[in-house]
Amino acid sequence: MNAHLAVRTGEKMVAMGSQPKGGAGVDSDRELMLEDARSISQGLWRMVRFAQGAAESLDGRIEEAVEVRAVLARLQALSAEISEELDAYQQLHARYRGTPD
C-alpha cells in the first residue's frame, strides 16, 4: 500500500501505509474500511432523507399550484360573465339615452 495514502476517519487522518506489518495492521485496516462503509451508508441515508423532504415539499407546491390554477380559472369565468353583463347593461343604457323623454 502507498505510504502516503490516508483515510479520513472522523476528525483524524490515519496513514494506512504506516501500519506495522502483520495482524494488527490488517485488523486496523478492516476497522477503517468498516468505519468508511458506515460513514458512506449514513451519508447515503442522509441524502435519502433530504431527497424525500424535497419531494414532499415539491408535492405540496404542486398541490398549491393546482389550487391556484383552479382559482384563476374561476376568476376568468367570472370575468367573462361580468364582461357580458356589463356589455348588456351598457347596451340597455345606450337605448334609454337614445330615446327622447
CA 101 to CA 88: how far, in whole Å? Answer: 21
Residue 11 — very low, low, confident or very high, per pLDDT cuts 50/70/90?
A: very low
pTM here is 0.49
Q: What is the pLDDT of residue 7?
A: 47
State the chain's maximal CA–CA distance in angstroms.
Answer: 118
CA 27 to CA 20: how far, in whole Å? Answer: 11
Q: How many residues are given for the chain?
A: 101
Q: What is the pLDDT of residue 23?
A: 59
CA 7 to CA 40: how far, in whole Å? Answer: 13
Tell me the residue type at 31.
E
Residue 20 — very low, low, confident or very high, per pLDDT cuts 50/70/90?
A: low
Residue 64 — very low, low, confident or very high, per pLDDT cuts 50/70/90?
A: very high
Does residue 15 contact residue 3 with C-beta atoms inside 8 Å? Answer: yes
